[in-house]
Amino acid sequence: MVPLIVAGAIAGAAGQLGGAAIQGYYSNEASKREANARKEAANQLRQQGALTDAQYNQLINQINQYYDTRGSLGTRQDVNAYKQAIAGYNPEDYVADIGNFDDQYNKTVEDFTNPYYAQIIGQTRDQLQHSAAGAGLGRGTGAALGIAQGVASKSDELYNTALNQYNQDRSFEYQKYADAIRNNQNRLNALNTANQYKIGLQGNLASDYYNTQDARMSDVMQAQQDRLNARVGYDSAIAGLY
């Protein structure tokens, strides 16, 4: 028989071994449950991350569909047309060419000289000679001087008449010339205003096109940033489980 003391010792040792075994068993089971829980949590996070990717793709499709459907008033062609209009605009094209009036008006005082000038001068000379003869002056120096002065006076009279007509005609033609320049400048001003208005409209269309493209890109970049933030969050959460 085993002595009672030995039997007690054996029983005590067996009890200790059994308790340790049981404690180890439960500890191992807890570790398994915790590992499974971590694994399940990680799987759920991965599924949520996959859902986020799907939502991102859906959002991108919605963004593209929205902008493709909405479109914009401006197009790429409007942008090109605006650039060409700006490059082709020259303010000097809308300044009237005034030219040189003297190059256009080529008349002189002689053009207004009385066509009967020689005949009138001849008649004046004859009348003066006749008057001198009637006064008994004959052909003396005094008579000749009087006749010469009379002829010169008549010549001056005819010249002044021609000069006045020349000045009046020149003034009239210059007014026509100035009016033509003014009317042409007014026409060019109207064309310039219309062209600038057209360029302004083309600029508005070009701006609308660029603004729409910028808005689309901004929405896409925001979606990409949100997706990246979500992915980083899920990856960090998964890494924290282990």
Q: Is residue 31 domain-resident?
A: no
* pLDDT above 90: residue 30: no
Is residue 19 assigned to a domain? no
Token pair in block for residue 47 = 């599924």
Whether residue 70 contacts residue 216, with contact meaning beta carbons closer than 8 Å, is answered with: no
Expressed as residue numbers, the domain containing 134 is: 71-240
Range 34-44 average pLDDT = 63
On average, the pLDDT of the chain sits at: 79
Average of per-residue pLDDT across 185-213: 95
Whole-number pLDDT of residue 99: 87
- Which whole number is the average pLDDT over 32-54? 64
96 assigned to some structural domain: yes
Report d(CA 77, CA 102) in Å as an integer: 49
Residue 217 is assigned to a structural domain of this protein? yes
- Does the structure show a pLDDT above 60 at 187? yes
Q: Does some domain include residue 122?
A: yes
Mean predicted confidence (pLDDT) in 221-238: 78
In order, the DSSP letters of 23-59 are: HHHHHHHHHHHHHHHHHHHHHHHHHHHHHHHHHHHHH
Question: Which pLDDT does position 40 carry in this prediction?
Answer: 65
Weakest-pLDDT range from 58-62, 107-111, 166-170? 58-62
Position with higher pLDDT, 137 vs 72: 72
What's the pLDDT at 4? 43
Domain count, the chain: 1
Q: Is the pLDDT of residue 124 over 90?
A: no
Burial of residue 206, with CB atoms counted within 10 A of its CB: 0-12 exposed, 13-18 middle, 19 or more buried: buried
Q: pLDDT at residue 204 above 90?
A: yes
Give pLDDT, residue 136.
54
Summarize pLDDT for 8-23 with one digit per residue, the tens: 443 444 444 444 444 5
pLDDT of residue 169: 97
**Residue at 11 is within a domain:** no
pLDDT for res 230: 75
Residue 65 resides in a domain: no
In this prediction, residue 194 carries a pLDDT of 96
- 118 located within any domain: yes
In this structure, how many other beta carbons lie within 10 angstroms of the beta carbon of residue 132?
A: 19
Give the mean pLDDT of 197-217.
94
